[in-house]
Amino acid sequence: MRNFNKMNIAIIGLGNIGSYLYKYLLSNNNRLSKKNNCKPNVVFVSAKNRKKRRNLKIDKNKWLNNYLQATKSTKVDIIVELIGGAEGPAKKLVFNALKNKKHVVTANKALIAKYGDQLSRIAEKNNVNLEFEAAVCGGVPIIRSLKEGLIANKINKIYGIFNGTSNYILSAMNQENKSFDDVLVKAKKLGYAETNPLSDLNGDDVASKLKILSSLCFNSFIDNNIHIEGINSIDRIDIKNADILGYKIKLLGFAELIDNKVYQRVHPTLINNSSYIAGIDGVLNAVIINGEPVGESIIQGEGAGPAATTSALVSDISSILRGNVKFPFSISSKERKKLHFSNLKERSFSAYLRFEVHDKPGVLSDITNIFSRNRVSIKRLIQNPNKSKKYSSIVIITHKSKDKFLNQIIRQTSQKSYIKSKPKLIRINDN
């Protein structure tokens, strides 16, 4: 057998993903060595609970008493951070590793979204890699595609489905005609949702990923000016109405460069049934990139889970094994720009609005007058009375209108005595 040069790896965090990665590197060591002309050699591991059952055979000499030992050890070349979270041990580990000239591979989107700019400067100063393919969309190779495969392109827009949990819930609500709460229970049982899935449901998970992608697309620093809405308020009525109107509801993230301004937004979106992304169901992710000269590119795949995440982690490890030292965000921090990140107030969208109202004379007239006063033109109106309960559901589809006016309608109608519950606003993707 051929002798390869080797690089020593420390895996910090042995949950489902860390354990899967450890087994994968051991069982595929020979193949990876041949492909990379360098051997990935796991020398150390660390975990919060060493005694936890993991179905792994790990030499006791590989266990670190303190995870930070990996950052100082002369035996370690690459540290794989799988602790998670933007603060605490994960933050301490990655900052110390880079300062001590260790390459870092991480799946930690929260850490990169919050401290990526600082970490990239340290990595560049010390001529080491900070790799985070696994932080965004798991098995979908979007980070490397932006850094390398699409390097010739000026990207003007990136959007898509970036969270498998929310996509599964919305898909199941549509296909099984079940409530949000019922589908969430099922998602937890199947392992598609965490015990506490708040960041998946409120849009924070997508927002972290989008901020990273936005920075890569537009060669800019990470910016927190982002509009975030989750799927918590979506119910069966909205799913059914969307289907009748020829749409599906998806939680989408958008980053767009328009007139040298960047707009970042995460929110439920009505998309036409005929569009490609409408067919992405279950736990799949899909990313759509618009650039010049390539036009539109689409990448889809498993967004999470040990196998998909390991695929991304090994891709990053392999890049380092090949000796590819490169800028974490594709270009030097000195060349990255501080663009103007704008809110959505002046952007125009078509929209779906739903009003649950007490069924009495003058209600519809008053609502349409509010639309008129806010300069929002009505494209389609559906009224569904429920005489037994003495209320009606009014659904209005608008022509393109400024976002600030659409939200003014929501605020003004919410104050009316005939409103039974908070009005619903869902933007429509017309592209």
Asked whether residue 381 is assigned to any structural domain, the reply reads yes
248 is catalytic: no
Number of compact structural domains in the chain: 3
Q: In 3-state terms, what secondary structure has residue 249?
A: strand
Would you say 155 and 144 are in contact if contact means Cβ atoms under 8 Å apart?
no
Task: Say which residues have a Cβ less than 8 Å from residue 236's Cβ, sequence separation at least 6.
Answer: 173, 177, 178, 179, 180
The pLDDT, as a whole number, for residue 431 is 65
Is 150 within the bounds of a domain?
A: yes
Q: Provide φ and ψ at 292, rounded to 5°.
A: -120, 125
Looking at the structure, tell me whether residues 284 and 199 fall in a common domain: yes
pLDDT of 389 reads 67
Is position 387 within any domain? yes
Q: Of 101, 135, 169, at which residue does a domain stop?
A: 135
Rounded (10°) CA dihedral 18, 21, 22, 26: 180
Record the pTM: 0.91
What residue has token string 């301004």? 261
In this structure, what CATH number is given to the domain that contains residue 79?
A: 3.40.50.720
- Let me know if residue 309 belongs to a domain: no
207: part of which helix (H) or strand (E)?
Answer: helix 204-218
Domain extent for 77: 6-135
Cis amide bond preceding 89, omega within 30? no
Q: Are residues 272 and 357 in the same domain?
A: no
Q: Could you tell me if 241 and 282 lie in one domain?
A: yes
Check whether residue 131 and residue 51 sit in a common domain: yes
The residue to which tokens 């910090």 are assigned: 12
Closest of 161, 152, 249, 168 to residue 209, by C-alpha: 161
In this structure, the answer to whether residues 70 and 122 fall within a common structural domain is yes
pLDDT one digit per residue (tens) for the chain, 431 residues: 566 789 999 999 998 899 999 999 999 999 999 999 999 999 999 998 888 888 888 888 999 989 999 999 999 999 999 999 999 999 999 999 999 999 999 999 999 999 999 999 999 999 999 999 999 988 889 999 999 888 888 999 999 999 999 999 999 999 998 899 999 999 888 878 887 889 999 999 999 999 999 999 999 999 999 999 999 999 999 999 999 999 999 999 999 999 889 999 999 999 999 999 999 998 899 999 999 998 999 999 887 788 889 999 999 999 999 988 889 999 999 999 888 888 889 899 999 999 999 988 899 999 999 999 999 999 999 988 776 668 889 999 999 999 999 999 999 999 999 999 999 999 999 76
Q: Same domain for 169 and 282? A: yes
Task: Please check whether residues 43 and 147 belong to one and the same domain.
Answer: no
Q: State whether 153 and 131 are in the same domain.
A: no
Q: Does 295 fall in a domain?
A: yes
Same domain for 281 and 159, yes or no, is yes
How far apart CA 22 and CA 11 sit, in angstroms, is 8
Residue 207 maps to which CATH number? 3.30.360.10
Q: Alpha carbon 350 to chain centroid distance?
A: 24
Q: 265 in a domain, yes or no?
A: yes
In a domain, 308, yes or no: no
| The one catalytic residue among 39, 147, 209, 424 | 209
**Alpha-carbon span 369 to 358, nearest angstrom:** 17
pLDDT at site 343: 87
Return the CATH number at 372.
3.30.70.260
Q: Rounded to whole angstroms, how far apart are CA atoms 133 and 129?
A: 12
Tell me what pLDDT residue 205 has: 93
Asked if 147 and 131 sit in the same domain, the reply is: no
Instruction: Count CB atoms within 10 A of the CB of residue 239.
Output: 22
Beta bridge partners of 250: 269
Identify whether 236 is part of a domain.
yes
Cα 214 from Cα 156, distance rounded (Å): 10
pLDDT recorded at residue 388: 64
CA angle 274, 280, 281 (to 5 degrees): 120
Answer for the pair 216, 242: CB distance below 8 angstroms, yes or no.
Answer: no
Same domain flag for 245 and 165: yes
